[in-house]
Structure 1
């Protein structure tokens, strides 16, 4: 969780929970648990931003060649005096670039509330340049807090392919009524509880052994945007019942 700048491919799969349980023993033959959490397990809570006219949503939903997101992220039960991360995530021609800086959560709120770099010398940030990029991006798009997304994750790291990372996300929830990340994981499920979002993250190509494993277990690629699906849920919930399992599998 300390890496601040990186570029990689991220391939997504939507799989049943029992298939996730089947995959893990095979992964452990060539991978190890992520060093964070117990057996690579931890909780992620992210506050996503968008403009009034939903520029970020439509960039993602329409799969533009270049698209980006802004989010504030914490891990597990972090509070106001604990670390958070301001992140700019960009995608161009299927390559994901992430730039983020570590900042105390209370300072992140102050920075976001003031919408200014005038106080930047007050903050203890790991990368001041990225803080400037966050400010520029937010100002250009006129971004405001939009929705909180939370989920449990189990992560694995390659033993022989140092750039290989595989994650499984489940218990995926969202809310727009309480945009304080420190309030913890709560809200409505936006992916069926029996489904898991698996992501394979590599710098170059997926190892042949993993490609074969996913083929044998019939794991199809499925583009799932946590941000867009959350927006769909919270907006539809205001007007009509939202049957997510049918929507996300369609």
Structure 2
């Protein structure tokens, strides 16, 4: 069965392609390519959701202490019969968890078009309970498909520490004129094409050897939301908070530290 609940720590950086090449060379003996994709390389295409009032955008932008995102994701080339991943990403007091299920992409679209039974008992999914949680969240926030975000990823695991994971994301694009994720990875770049999003993912702390390499290469630690950056690009500016109340509980900023999180790919047990 597939592990469908994730909780890890992650540290994000924004680096250049040259830094990426140097970093991969420096860590080569300690890391191996992910078993997914070809030599650890694959494409991710995700459909993100938001409310008409952009509630998810503002909760993320304002770093509300408790916040969630909903997304539907496929890997590499996909069609309606491909396996899709429907997931809720939750963050509370710097702890990020994912609740994820698998289902055919056509089945996800059938649900989004309102054709499933009210109790979802006719859904073809790996986890009906998570499907019900997704349905509750979607209805509570009145979530609708908002935009597609896609990128190419190079993923690596530690040779002696399989819990250490490093991912590099390239060619980050977004679009809101075609919300069918089976149509592939295309759209407007929302960061410079020469930049790469690096994420270091661990269960506890970043190993000292890796921290020293990142420091030697002057890798810039930066926490940024692909979701918010894409929204702002597609809307042309940072959105005004029309019709939205300022959150009462804001997350305290962390400078130079770790944050709990996960973008852990599917693992089979």
Question: Normalising to structure 2: TM-score of the pair?
Answer: 0.84
Q: How does 1:206-245 map to 2 (within 5 A)?
A: 206-236=206-236
8 Å Cα contact 1:45-1:75 kept in structure 2: yes
* Contact 1:111-1:119 within 8 A present in 2 as well: no
Note the alpha carbon deviations across 1:130-159, whole angstroms, 9 max, x for none: 111110111111100001000000001112
Q: Give distance in 2, aligned partners of 1:117 and 1:214.
A: 51
The answer as to whether partners of 1:115 and 1:135 remain within 8 angstroms in 2 is no
Indicate the residue corresponding to 1:42 in structure 2: 42
Post-superposition offset of 1:120: 2.9
Per the TM alignment, residue 9 of structure 1 is displaced from its structure 2 partner at its CA by 1.3
> 2-side partners of 1:221 and 1:71: how far apart?
25
Give the distance between the partners of 1:125 and 1:191, measured in 2 at CA.
35
CA contact (8 A) 2:116 2:123 kept: no
Is the partner of 2:136 in helix, strand or coil?
Answer: helix
Q: Which has the higher contact order (CA 8 A, sep 6+)?
A: 2
Partner of 1:244: none
How is 1:122-133 mapped onto 2 (pairs within 5 angstroms)? 122-133=122-133
Structure 2 segments unaligned to the other structure (5+ residues):
238-269
- Which runs of 5 or more residues in structure 1 are unaligned? 238-250
Q: What is the rounded CA distance, in whole Å, between the counterparts of 2:80 and 2:122 in structure 1?
A: 16
3-state SS, counterpart of residue 64 of structure 1:
coil
CA distance 1:69–1:95, change in 2 (3 Å): same
Q: Which residue of 2 aligns with 1:245?
A: none
In structure 1, how many angstroms separate the alpha carbons of the residues matched to 2:199 and 2:120? 35
Instruction: Select between 67-76 and 27-36 the one with higher mean Cα deviation.
Output: 27-36
Q: Deviations over 1:87-133 (max 9, x none)?
A: 10012222221111000000000112217553733332111111111
CA spacing shift, 1:193–1:125, aligned 2, 3 Å: same
Does the 8 Å contact 1:12/1:199 carry over to 2? yes
> Does the 8 Å contact 2:116/2:122 carry over to 1?
no
Q: For residues 115 and 216 of structure 1, what CA distance do their matches in structure 2 show?
A: 55
Find the counterpart in structure 1 of residue 104 from structure 2.
104
In the other structure, the counterpart of 1:87 is: 87
Q: Which runs of 4+ in 1 moved over 6 A?
A: none
Q: 1:1-250 alignment to 2 at 5 Å?
A: 2-114=2-114, 117-118=117-118, 120-236=120-236
Q: More displaced, 100-109 or 161-170?
A: 161-170
Change (3 A) 1:208 1:137: same
Change over 3 Å in CA distance of 1:120–1:218 after alignment to 2: same
| Structure 1 partner of 2:240 | none
Preserved CA contact (<8 Å) 2:4 2:101: yes
Mean Cα deviation higher: 201-210 or 182-191: 201-210
Root-mean-square deviation over aligned CA pairs:
1.4
Residues 21-42 of structure 1 deviation map (CA, whole Å, 9 limit, x = unaligned): 1111222211110000111000
CA distance in 2, matches of 1:162, 1:107: 33
Judge conservation of contact 2:154–2:169 (CA < 8 Å) in 1. yes
